[in-house]
Amino acid sequence: MLVSEIKSRPVYCGLRVDGSALRHLVAAEGEGALAVIEAFGGAREALGRTAILYCPAGSAGRDHGAALRDLGADVVHVMPSAQTLLFRLNAMLDVATMGTRLYAAGREGFIGSVVAAAAARGVDHQSIRTEHRGSLARRVQCVHCKGMTEDVTATPFVCSHCGLTLFVRDHFSRRLGAFQGVCVDAEEPGVIPPAEELYR
């Protein structure tokens, strides 16, 4: 479980199947599939009411799609990318009915994107069951150009959109599903501390 002194920092309590849910909608990326297999492997009665969306991105070359299919869920979609998965998830959220429980497992940036998509449709982030698996790499928004950079492992780093050198803050925006990056040398141009690998 990732915890910080920053109150906006997400806390992931792990996947637990909600036995009272009428429908289960599961979004998993990379090693997040292992969390899904652990949670739903012991919940056979729920699998007939479960849709799983999975993309192998971020799983160090391993594709867990076959293992997810072997669970016996009602629907399993293996998607080529997180963007494709989120597109399908958005369509499913648009028609989801009351009693649907949403789950997200994978890297932090992926979970943030799932939570942000659900929040845009009125789903309270506290009702989404989440589990972090895989790299600690962060999704970071540059507060200056608003560009997003995926898989940031060090601070400071160079924004992939505007080229500013950014310090990665622990402040997390649920609306954006990203951490915030601020210019590290705004007050003293050119004075840039060495990068530290913090988020492997």
- How confident is the chain (200 residues) per 10-residue block, as mean pLDDT? 58 93 97 96 93 84 89 96 96 96 94 94 94 90 95 94 94 87 93 87
User: Would you identify the CATH topology of the domain 23-132?
Assistant: Rossmann fold (3.40.50)
Closest CA to 36 of 15, 20, 53, 50: 15
Q: What three-state secondary structure class fits 135?
A: coil
Per-residue confidence (pLDDT) for residue 1, from 0 to 100: 39
Q: pLDDT value at position 2?
A: 45
pTM, 2 dp:
0.85
- pLDDT value at residue 3: 45
Residue 146: predicted pLDDT: 97
Counting DSSP H helices and E strands in the chain, the numbers are 5, 12
Q: How many other CB atoms are found less than 10 A from the CB of residue 39?
A: 20
User: What element of type H or E holds 112?
Assistant: helix 108-119
Are 20 and 96 contacting, i.e. CB atoms less than 8 angstroms apart?
Answer: no
How wide is the angle at C-alpha 65 spanned by C-alphas 59 and 71, nearest 5°?
Answer: 125
CB-based burial of residue 13 (10 Å sphere; 0-12 exposed, 13-18 middle, 19+ buried)?
exposed
Element (H, E) at 133: none
Q: Buried b vs exposed e over 136-157: b needs ≥16 C-beta within 10 Å?
A: ebbbbbbbeeeebbbebbebbb
Q: CATH 3.40.50.80: which residues of the chain?
A: 23-132
Say what the pLDDT of residue 172 is.
87
